[in-house]
Amino acid sequence: MRVPLGEIFLVDDEEEIRIASSQTFELEGYAVRTFASAAEVLPHIDPDWLGVVITDVKMPGMDGLELLAAIREMAPDLPVVIQTGHGDVPMALSAIKAGAYDFIEKPVPPEYLIDVANRALESRRLSLENRSLKKRLASEADIGSRIIGESQAASGLRRTIGSLSLIDVDVLLIGETGVGKELAAHCLHDLGNRKAGKFVPLNCGAIPPNLVESELFGHERGAFTSASTRRIGKIEQAHGGTLFLDEIESMPLSVQVKVLRALQERTIERVGGDRLISVDFRVIAATKVNLRDAVTQGAFREDLFYRLNVARVPIPPLRERTGDARLLLQWFLMKMADRFHTAPPSLDSSVLERLEAYDWPGNVRELRNVAQQLVLGLPLDLAEPRSLDTSTPDAVAPDGPSGTGLDEQVNRYEKQLIEEALARNGGSMTRTANDLDIPRKRLYLRMQKFDIRK
């Protein structure tokens, strides 16, 4: 069953107009409810409703401008589109000043009516998302306000982190650069029974190999030439709390054996010392590589790998978290706007389409940087949107002259698929997008790229 794009409330005292307009929207995939008067629609207005009200002005009883005022009282950010056959400039200005989303005159061309509804629903959707994100900002301790996303991948990660946080077991986090491994480690610590202790991070790849042992275990005064005082290492600092070892694949083999012993016995010796020190700590390690391959290549100890691999948590890349980039972008825009004491920027549909079609090779970290660029008004530097995936065995290259480049062949085939789908679906953007199993916005982008017209 096709999921509606959104809901439209049509308010008009003329039955023929209600019928014609509702058919226009239903053919495009919207859910539509019609009302013959303003009094009929008011009981159905909900501050959290994802929809748009389109109302006539000249109606018996309460007119469209009075309905607009009443809706503004009940749901201030709900888009209301005013339409009339008697419109003039003063009335248009009155409607806009009163908070109308748009003002259109009858008769309205169907494509223009759909375009206005699309923009209004997009505005409503962003408004509701911002409201939800603001609530999450007010409760930072909640894991749902920290691992943002509504995809299955994000939901699964929250469940896994929530469960493991309650178990005092060492954890191995696996994921590409920028996916949020340190955030996951913080959540495991903050939601667990060690939250009163310290969270002590160490990036093994950022420390010179000859200093890693001293950073981890500490050293006694005089242990080496520059050791003028005693130093407490990261493991000892994490007593009662959590030690986070990021990029553990970079740890020298000579130190790995000592870390293994510390994990097994929960005791350490400072460099240059001769006394065993008991330490109660939890280890969360993170890696961006396949440690099994590192073991095979002799770059990582097999026994340490198996010691860490008990609770293994893969963190999905952003490209596999369908729909989450949009939510994360809104989240970071609010955070950055608050940081720089400014209002979050309003993004037009072309920018949103471009960001939703992007692969995000730098994952959440890259998206955060993009949000900062947008807040600061800097130009974006992103790659082209993804093309149709032709890596499956069923993908067929188009007929073409010998020597045609791969990109040109792929583009030609993709254009052909879109044109055929448009023809099958009578030019309906919604049905074509569903047929191709791609978001409607991405379909618009691809049509623009290939200069395809309905």
- Domains of the chain, residue spans: 7-136, 149-316, 319-375, 406-450
What is the Cα–Cα distance from 106 to 162, expressed in whole angstroms?
55
- List the end-to-end C-alpha distance of the chain, in Å, as a whole number: 25
**pLDDT of residue 424 exceeding 90:** no
Rounded-to-integer distance, Cα 63 and Cα 283, Å: 66
Q: Which CATH architecture has domain 7-136?
A: 3-Layer(aba) Sandwich (3.40)
Give the count of beta carbons closer than 10 Å to the beta carbon of residue 429.
Answer: 21
What is the per-residue pLDDT across 370-396, written as a single tens digit (0 to 9) for each? 999 898 888 776 754 444 333 333 333
The more confident residue out of 104 and 411 is: 104
User: Is the distance from CB of 59 to CB of 12 less than 8 angstroms?
Assistant: yes
Distance in angstroms (rounded) separating the CA atoms of residues 369 and 384: 18
- Comparing 338 with 141, the larger pLDDT belongs to 338
Cα–Cα distance measured from residue 85 to residue 275, given in angstroms and rounded to the nearest whole number? 90
As a whole number, mean pLDDT of residues 86-114 equals 79
Indicate if 149-316 has the same CATH topology as 7-136: yes
**Which segment of 80-89, 139-148, 350-359, 413-422 scores lowest on mean pLDDT?**
139-148
Structurally, at CATH architecture level, domain 406-450 sits in Orthogonal Bundle (1.10)
Paired tokens of 316: 């999905």
Q: What is the mean pLDDT of the chain?
A: 84
Say whether pLDDT at 358 is over 60: yes
18, 158, 198, 296, 389 from 187: Cα distances, Å: 52, 9, 13, 32, 35
pLDDT of residue 133: 65
Residue 415: which pLDDT band, with cuts at 50, 70 and 90? Answer: confident
What's the whole-number mean pLDDT along residues 89-112? 80
Three-class secondary structure assignment of the chain:
CCCCCCEEEEECCCHHHHHHHHHHHHHCCCEEEEECCHHHHHHHCCCCCCEEEEEECCCCCCCHHHHHHHHHHHCCCCCEEEEECCCCHHHHHHHHHCCCCEEEECCCCHHHHHHHHHHHHHHHHHHHHHHHHHHHHCCCCCHHHCCCCCCHHHHHHHHHHHHHHCCCCCEEEECCCCCCHHHHHHHHHHCCCCCCCCEEEEEHHHCCHHHHHHHHHCECCCCCCCCCCCECCHHHHCCCCEEEEECHHHCCHHHHHHHHHHHHHCEECCECCCCCEECCCEEEEEECCCHHHHHHCCCCCHHHHHHHCCEEEECCCHHHCCCHHHHHHHHHHHHHHHHCCCCCCCCCHHHHHHHHCCCCCCHHHHHHHHHHHHHCCCCCCCCCCCCCCCCCCCCCCCCCCCCCCHHHHHHHHHHHHHHHHHHHCCCCHHHHHHHHCCCHHHHHHHHHHHCCCC
pLDDT over threshold 90, residue 99 = no
Render pLDDT for 209-250 as a digit per residue (tens, 0 to 9). Answer: 888 999 999 989 888 877 888 889 999 999 999 999 999 999
pLDDT at site 136: 54
- Residues 6 or more apart from 132 whose CB is under 8 A from it? none
Do 398 and 416 meet the contact criterion of CB atoms below 8 Å apart? yes
Contact between 311 and 172 under an 8 Å Cβ cutoff? The reply is yes
d(CA 257, CA 248): 13
Task: Look at residue 296 in the predicted model and tell me its pLDDT.
Answer: 95
**What average pLDDT does range 95-101 have in this prediction?**
84
Whether the per-residue pLDDT at 252 is higher than 60: the answer is yes
More confident residue, 393 or 426: 426
The pLDDT, as a whole number, for residue 427 is 78
Note the pLDDT of residue 430: 74
Radius of gyration for the alpha carbons in the chain, expressed in angstroms and rounded: 29
Tell me: pLDDT of 90 over 60: yes
Would the pTM of this model clear 0.85, i.e. be above it? no
123: pLDDT confidence band, cut at 50, 70 and 90?
A: confident
Whether pLDDT at 364 is above 90: yes
Tell me the per-residue pLDDT of 52-69, one tens digit each, with 9 for 90 and over. 999 988 888 898 889 999
Do residues 165 and 153 touch, judged by C-beta distance below 8 A? no
Greatest extent of the chain over all pairs of C-alpha atoms, in Å: 93
Q: How much is the pLDDT for 267?
A: 95
Least confident interval from 17-21, 189-193, 399-403, 415-419: 399-403
In the structure encoding, which two tokens stand for residue 187, read together? 């959540």
pLDDT over 50 at 402, yes or no: no
Closest to 83 measured CA to CA, from 30, 42, 120, 134: 120
Q: What number of other Cβ atoms are within 10 A of residue 402's Cβ?
A: 4
pLDDT at 441: 64
Decide if pLDDT at 196 tops 60.
yes
The pLDDT value given to residue 454: 59
251: pLDDT strictly greater than 90: yes
Can you give the length of the chain in residues?
Answer: 454
Look at residue 406 and tell me whether its pLDDT is greater than 70: no
The CATH architecture one would assign to domain 149-316 is 3-Layer(aba) Sandwich (3.40)
pLDDT of residue 269: 93
121 pLDDT above the threshold of 50: yes
Please report, rounded to a whole number, the percentage of residues in the chain having pLDDT higher than 70. 88
Is pLDDT at 142 greater than 70 in this prediction? no
Whether 287 and 308 have beta carbons less than 8 Å apart is answered as no
What confidence category does residue 80 fall into, taking pLDDT thresholds of 50, 70 and 90?
very high
107-133 mean pLDDT: 83
Q: Which amino acid is at 254?
A: S
Q: Where is average pLDDT lowest: 108-112, 253-257, 361-365, 388-392?
A: 388-392
Name the one residue in this structure whose structure tokens are 């169907």.
110
Tracing tokens 């469960």 back to the chain, one arrives at: 163
pLDDT tens by residue, 276-301: 999 999 999 999 999 999 999 999 99
Asked if 446 contacts 414 with a C-beta cutoff of 8 angstroms, the reply is yes
CATH of region 319-375, choose from 1.10.8.60, 3.40.50.11540, 3.90.1170.50, 3.90.740.10: 1.10.8.60
Burial of residue 153 (number of CB atoms within 10 Å: 0-12, 13-18, 19+): middle
